[in-house]
């Protein structure tokens, strides 16, 4: 069987293809962050207090310049990861060695590929979580705008999918918005846990040279380094699972929102009308406008949860130390994040263009929907609740003249249809946006200083 020489040994082609898996393809998303991580590592090596210096200040500048070139090539989709490289890490090392000779062979000093993939995925997650928060905030704003515009439009509130009590479009929309705002808290928590630099772990057990892990962490704009070098590697898989758990909570909120849209746009309800450009037609039925976006969001929620569980299953029985099983987590991780972000992006503009059918919403009320409100009114007049309950149950005909629009005007307490605090939603949404701005600014500032060029390049 044919063999191929690689940086880490001679391997037969079938084994090489099997062990590389999809890394050659997937790692294109990690080229820039791998270069950034290498820049920090080399900078740290150049400052290590040893004689002679492992890497001089001048050599460090040469490596950084080479890394900046690779980042530019990646931006133009011109950097190639070969099968013989196996992954982005060795592709970058090969490229630098070809350009810089023996200097390129020095960059892996005190570092393992375990180090590299761990820091790459954390840097990748850092940026992806900020994008996700930004997109979630945009969807929250769309839902709140929709709710505020239709604040006083009555809508039947349902339990067990059956008519229950008077509600409003504003209450319905902002319920989904508040769910997403809580999901943003989970995303921020995942961001904070992810914001630890694992570099310096090497093969999980540290190195016998005086590396400065705090410096490396600072150079990359992390909040702190992971402390225990063995956990720095054991955190692989666990960290991806934490991020995917936060993503799956977002998808849970989106799936329920999508399900509501599918119900309330049915002709039997006709409460809402989805914009035609967000629907698809039938190949045989000319009249159809299908809510395919909503159906796919619902399905993709299961895909994201499956990705989370897939990573969990990969690591739950793994012994301490690095295991190659973790390679299979990368695709699940990237897919789960990308799927969540695509759903957030498609729903925000759809909601902005959705139309409300006020007549259908009001026509959806039947006298029994006002039963609980009427019972509570009788309680307010002095009747014991259970007596009021039975009285109304036996005299539903007395509720036929109640106006839904008037009924919701009576619900003014905190969080009720006419007690919605619009500043509350605005404040929480702005707080998410501010977190994104501050964290992104700090990260970009750190990497720009490290590389000596503006990051990201415009």
Q: Which residues are catalytic?
A: 160, 282
What residues contact residue 226 under an 8 Å CB cut-off, 6+ apart? 196, 197, 198, 201, 232, 235
- Report how far residue 89's alpha carbon sits from residue 413's, in angstroms, rounded to the nearest whole number: 58
What are the tokens at 392? 């109304």
As a whole number of angstroms, the distance between CA 31 and CA 91 comes to: 9
Among candidate residues 111, 114, 90, 88, the one with its CA nearest the CA of residue 236? 114
The residue with tokens 């209450």 is 171
| Partner residues linked to 238 by β-bridges | none
| Bond from prior residue into 456 cis (ω within 30 degrees of 0) | yes
Q: Pairing relation of β-strands 272-273 and 224-225?
A: unpaired
Contact 314, 10 (CB under 8 A): no
Asked if 336 and 247 touch (Cβ cutoff 8 Å), the reply is yes
Helix (H, G, I), strand (E, B) or coil at 225: strand
Dist CA 411 CA 420 (whole Å) = 10
Question: Looking at the DSSP assignment, which residues form a beta bridge with residue 162?
Answer: 159
In Å, how far from its chain's centre is CA 275? 26
DSSP H or E stretch at residue 71: helix 57-75
E strand or H helix at 41, and its extent?
helix 31-46
Peptide bond between residue 92 and the one before it cis (omega within 30 degrees of 0)? no
Q: What is the rounded CA–CA span in Å between residue 220 and residue 217? A: 5
CB-side exposure of 287: number of CA atoms within 13 Å?
1
From start to end of 268-322, where are the E strands? Answer: 272-273
Q: Residue 77's CB: how many other CB atoms inside 10 A?
A: 9
Query: Contact at 8 Å (CB) between 203 and 114?
Result: yes
Residue 402 backbone zone (phi > 0: left; psi -120 to 50: alpha; other: beta): beta
Q: Tell me which H or E stretch contains 302.
A: helix 292-315
């Amino acid at each position: 069987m044919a063999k191929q020489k690689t940086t880490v040994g001679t391997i037969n082609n079938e084994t090489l293809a099997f062990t590389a898996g999809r890394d050659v393809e997937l790692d294109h998303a990690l080229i820039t962050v791998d270069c950034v991580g290498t820049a920090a590592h080399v900078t740290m090596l150049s400052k290590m207090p040893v004689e002679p210096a492992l890497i001089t200040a001048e050599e460090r500048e040469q490596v950084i310049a080479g890394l900046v070139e690779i980042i530019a090539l990646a931006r133009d989709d011109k950097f190639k990861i070969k099968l013989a490289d196996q992954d982005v890490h060795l592709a970058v090392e090969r490229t630098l060695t070809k350009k810089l000779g023996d200097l390129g062979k020095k960059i892996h000093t005190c570092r393992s590929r375990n180090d590299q993939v761990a820091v790459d995925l954390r840097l990748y997650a850092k940026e992806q979580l900020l994008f996700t928060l930004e997109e979630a905030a945009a969807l929250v704003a769309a839902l709140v705008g929709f709710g505020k515009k239709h604040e006083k439009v009555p809508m039947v509130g349902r339990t067990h999918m059956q008519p229950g009590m008077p509600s409003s479009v504003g209450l319905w929309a902002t319920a989904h918005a508040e769910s997403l705002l809580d999901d943003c808290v989970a995303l921020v928590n995942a961001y904070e846990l992810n914001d630890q630099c694992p570099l310096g772990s090497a093969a999980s057990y540290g190195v016998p040279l005086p590396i400065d892990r705090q410096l490396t962490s600072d150079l990359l704009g992390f909040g702190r380094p992971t402390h225990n070098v063995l956990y720095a590697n054991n955190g692989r898989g666990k960290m991806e699972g934490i991020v995917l758990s936060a993503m799956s909570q977002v998808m849970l909120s989106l799936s329920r929102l999508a399900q509501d849209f599918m119900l309330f746009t049915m002709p039997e309800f006709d409460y809402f009308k989805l914009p035609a450009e967000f629907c698809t037609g039938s190949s045989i039925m000319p009249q159809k406008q299908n809510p395919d976006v909503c159906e796919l969001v619902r399905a993709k929620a299961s895909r994201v949860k499956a990705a989370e569980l897939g990573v969990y299953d990969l690591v739950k029985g793994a012994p301490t130390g690095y295991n190659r099983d973790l390679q299979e987590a990368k695709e699940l991780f990237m897919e789960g994040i990308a799927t969540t972000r695509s759903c957030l992006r498609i729903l925000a503009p759809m909601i902005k263009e959705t139309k409300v059918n006020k007549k259908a919403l009001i026509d959806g009320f039947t006298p029994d929907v006002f039963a609980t409100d009427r019972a509570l009114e009788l309680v307010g007049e002095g009747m014991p609740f259970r007596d009021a309950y039975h009285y109304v149950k036996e005299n539903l005909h007395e509720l036929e003249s109640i106006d839904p629009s008037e009924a919701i005007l009576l619900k003014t307490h905190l969080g009720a249809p006419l007690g919605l605090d619009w500043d509350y939603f605005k404040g929480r949404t702005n707080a998410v946006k501010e977190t994104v701005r501050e964290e992104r600014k700090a990260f970009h500032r750190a990497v720009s200083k490290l590389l000596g060029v503006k990051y990201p390049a415009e």
